[in-house]
Chains A and B, each alone.
Chain A
Amino acid sequence: MIDALIIGAGPAGLSAAIACAKQDLSVVVIDEFYRAGGRLLGQLHQEPDGTWWNGIEEALRLDREARALGVDIRCGVSVYDVSRTPGGWNVSTTAGKMETPLLLIATGASETAVPVPGWTLPGVMSIGAAQVMTNVQRVRVGERGVVIGVNILSVAIARELQLAGIQIDRMILPPASSITGNAGLPEEVMRALLRVAHLAPSPLLRWGSRFMHSHWMQSLAVRLYPSRGFPMWDIPIQLRTAALEIVGKAQVEGVRIAQITPDGQPIFGTEQLIPADFVCIAGGLSPLAELAAIAGCPFAYVPSLGGHVPIHNDQMQTALPGLFVAGNITGVESAKVAMAQGKVAGLSMAHARGALTDLSPLTDAIRDVKAVRQRATIQFHPDIDDGRALVEKLALAP
């Protein structure tokens, strides 16, 4: 009989497994992907001090540490149901049913699909797909492509594709619609980008930050934004251009684009067709929380955390006995925050099994999550702290 089952072998799940196993719990981790690491796999960015954050190495390090502690990691296993039993949880997987007293759901986040006419053509993929193909599978997704959707994630991944020798012709916005929401509005996209100005010293951000003082000036900045865009790492970021349609017969051949007004409407007569052999669509991330919903967790809708999140307390416990959550399922943040949360969840589970004689490691780990969040170089949303506080408050409500 195991003590804990962890769904998701990403930064949160593996860190939790390590923390549990160190307290002598018997732990199984399952993941649907064919190798451990979750979305650590593929991450590659330069820290402010110049060193490279290589997600593949981080994943290997966690995987090795967990296995050395006796954690049983099973890849290529999908979970399709979880249900409560008198003594814990019953988990239905493609490798059979599993019983566990404690269950941690650490399924991470998924990319939001942004429908653009022509997006089913081979050669069109999500930006995360291109990231994994390039950095993990080491296969070129194309020679020269267009990225539709300008956000912190897509800018970082565009840079990663460029590092691998793949050309990004330009980054543009999706067509404005009720589905694309703020992602199709130049002013909103610009405001979001300027929040990460410290990450990429570029002419765009230097130029834009002069306009940040008031809302009125931000609107002015968008009106004055040059149609050719500003380069970031030599990739033109065109906030006043949108994709109208991806075109091609058997695969992507190009993108029909147009200049757009500050509120995202195409300007008549500015249409043109640009050649491209691949297209990446970037719609941002939202918590992948279906299993928590199936389990019966109460949820809260918190936009600053990326969408619907299972309500949980600072010890990563949900309202349901024996059910824990950690990582991006609780809100979209960096992998380092996910690791810190995983450690908390692991120690909480050890505590629930009566394995923790001293509670100070748990309280330290909880404090560490906040410290890591404060230090994070990539902040996915400016109001994350408020979102976190709201969820914790809801968890305390009777």
Chain B
Amino acid sequence: MSQRIVQHPVLGSLVQGKPLHFTFNGDSYTAYEGETIAAALLASGVRTLRVHEEKGTPRGIYCNIGHCYECRVHVDGVPTVRACMTVVKDGMQVSAGTVLPTPLKKGGHTS
């Protein structure tokens, strides 16, 4: 079920743009024209946008206006793109980052 707020007592009914299709970690999702990656995924119930590069713990949006970079994802192969500031385009391929090697850290991992 979509988490979109369709009716609002003051702001009125939601005016949706045309539907677009994109993927996140290989799964297909629908966004409406003008929606950000973060908003479209949250509307589909996806809150985890990446894992912490070292610890692997889940992360989602924090500030939603581009300051904190907590929502950084890969878009069409480009890393460190802010999901909260990037509007979905049809056919976009979005993926969460993965845990990165920490070979110099004591007890760290290499792959």
Contact = CB atoms under 8 A, between A and B. Distances in A.
A140 B41 CA distance: 11
B14 interface: yes
A56 B11 contact: yes
Most chain B CB within 10 A, of A111, A139, A250, is at A139
A120 B57 contact: yes
Nearest to A143: B3
B11 to A, nearest CB: 7
A284 interface: no
Query: Looking at chain B's contact residues, is the secondary structure mostly helix, strand, loop, or mixed?
Result: loop
Contacts of B52: 120
A250 B64 CA distance: 20
Contacts of A123: 47, 60
A42 to B, nearest CB: 9
Contacts of B63: 110-111, 125-126, 128-129
Q: In the complex, which range does the number of interface residues on chain A fall in?
A: 35 or more
A52 B10 contact: yes
B52 to A, nearest CB: 8
A320 interface: no
Most chain B CB within 10 A, of A113, A120, A128, is at A120
Given A122-B47, A129-B65, A163-B9, A137 B85 contact: no
Contact of A165 (B5, B43, B58): B5
Contacts of A165: 5
Nearest to B39: A137
Q: In the complex, which range does the number of interface residues on chain B fall in?
A: 35 or more
Most chain A CB within 10 A, of B42, B65, B67, is at B65
A76 to B, nearest CB: 7
A120 B68 CA distance: 12
A133 B64 contact: yes
A134 interface: yes
B86 interface: yes
Interface in A225-257: 250-251
B62 A125 contact: yes
Interface in B24-70: 35-36, 39, 42-43, 47-49, 52, 57-68, 70
Interface of A: 32-34, 44, 52, 54, 56, 76, 78, 110-111, 113, 120-126, 128-130, 132-135, 137-141, 163-165, 250-251
15 contacts: A34-B85, A54-B11, A122-B49, A122-B59, A125-B60, A129-B65, A129-B84, A135-B11, A138-B5, A138-B6, A138-B14, A139-B5, A139-B42, A141-B42, A165-B5
Given A34-B85, A123-B47, A124-B60, 9 more contacts: A34-B36, A34-B87, A44-B11, A54-B11, A56-B11, A126-B63, A139-B4, A250-B58, A251-B48
